[in-house]
Structure 1
Amino acid sequence: MVRPQRSVISPLAWLAAALAGIAAPTLAMVMLADAPAPLVFFGGPILSLGLMGSGMIAAAIAARLWVGIALALLTAAGLVLLAGALGMSLLPHPVSTVLAFAIAGFSFAARGKLFARSAADKGWWIALFVVAGEAAMLLTAAAMPGALPDWLLVLLPAQWASMAIQTALTGTGTRAASSALIALAGTGAVTLLVARLWPRRWPYALMFSAWLGLSALVWHRPAPPMPAPTPPNAQSEQRLMQPSVGIAQAHAAAEPSVPVVRGGRAIALPPAD
Structure 2
Amino acid sequence: MKSVSYMRFPAWPYLAWPCAALAGLVVPALAILLLADAAAPLASAGGPIFAVGLMGSGMIGAAAGGSLRFGVFLALATGAGLIILSLALGMSPPSYAASIGLAFVTAAISFAARGALFARSASEKGWIIALGVVGGEAAVVATAFAAPGALPDWLLALLPAQWASTAIQTALAGTGMRAAIRPLVALAGTAAATLLVSSLWPRRWPYLVMFTTWIGVSALVLYGA
* TM-score category of the 2 structures, normalised to the smaller one: over 0.9
How far apart in 1 are the matches of 2:22 and 2:63?
A: 15
Letter matched to residue 96 of structure 1: S
| Contact in 2 for aligned 1:58/1:68 (Cα 8 Å) | yes
Match of 2:41 among 10, 23, 39: 39
Partner of 2:5: none
For structure 1, which segment, 206-215 or 25-34, has the greater mean C-alpha deviation from structure 2 after superposition?
25-34
% identical equivalent positions: 62
Of structures 1 and 2, the one with the larger relative CO (CA 8 A, separation 6+) is: 2
Q: Gaps (5+ residues) in structure 1?
A: 223-273
Match of 1:165 among 163, 168, 174: 168
Consecutive aligned runs of 4 or more in structure 1 exceeding 6 Å deviation: none
| Contact in 2 for aligned 1:39/1:83 (Cα 8 Å) | no
* Deviation, structure 1 residue 150: 0.9
Match of 1:137 among 140, 153, 157: 140
Report whether the alignment pairs 1:195 with 2:198.
yes
TM-score with structure 1 length normalisation? 0.77
- Per-residue Cα deviation, 1:189-216 (whole angstroms, up to 9, x for no partner): 0000001111111111111110000001
Report whether the alignment pairs 1:109 with 2:118.
no
| Contact in 2 for aligned 1:55/1:68 (Cα 8 Å) | yes
How far apart in 1 are the matches of 2:48 and 2:117?
A: 24
- Per-residue Cα deviation, 1:171-206 (whole angstroms, up to 9, x for no partner): 323333101100000000000000111111111111
For structure 1, which segment, 72-81 or 82-91, has the greater mean C-alpha deviation from structure 2 after superposition?
82-91
* Deviation, structure 1 residue 32: 1.8
How far apart in 2 are the matches of 1:132 and 1:65?
A: 20
SS where residue 14 of structure 2 aligns?
helix
Report whether the alignment pairs 1:92 with 2:95.
yes
Letter matched to residue 41 of structure 2: L
Partner of 1:18: 21
Letter matched to residue 65 of structure 1: L
* Deviation, structure 1 residue 86: 2.3
Letter matched to residue 175 of structure 1: R
Letter matched to residue 38 of structure 1: A
| Contact in 1 for aligned 2:158/2:218 (Cα 8 Å) | yes
TM-score with structure 2 length normalisation? 0.92
Alignment of 1:212-251 (within 5 A): 212-222=215-225
Partner of 1:79: 82
Match of 1:68 among 63, 66, 71: 71
* Deviation, structure 1 residue 87: 3.1
How far apart in 2 are the matches of 1:151 and 1:87?
A: 37
Partner of 2:4: none
How far apart in 1 are the matches of 2:89 and 2:161?
A: 24
Match of 1:122 among 105, 116, 125: 125
* Deviation, structure 1 residue 154: 0.7
| Contact in 2 for aligned 1:92/1:169 (Cα 8 Å) | yes
* Deviation, structure 1 residue 133: 0.1
- Per-residue Cα deviation, 1:102-143 (whole angstroms, up to 9, x for no partner): 000000000000000000000000000000000001001101
Q: Gaps (5+ residues) in structure 2?
A: 1-8
How far apart in 2 are the matches of 1:216 and 1:33?
A: 36
How far apart in 1 are the matches of 2:160 and 2:122?
A: 21
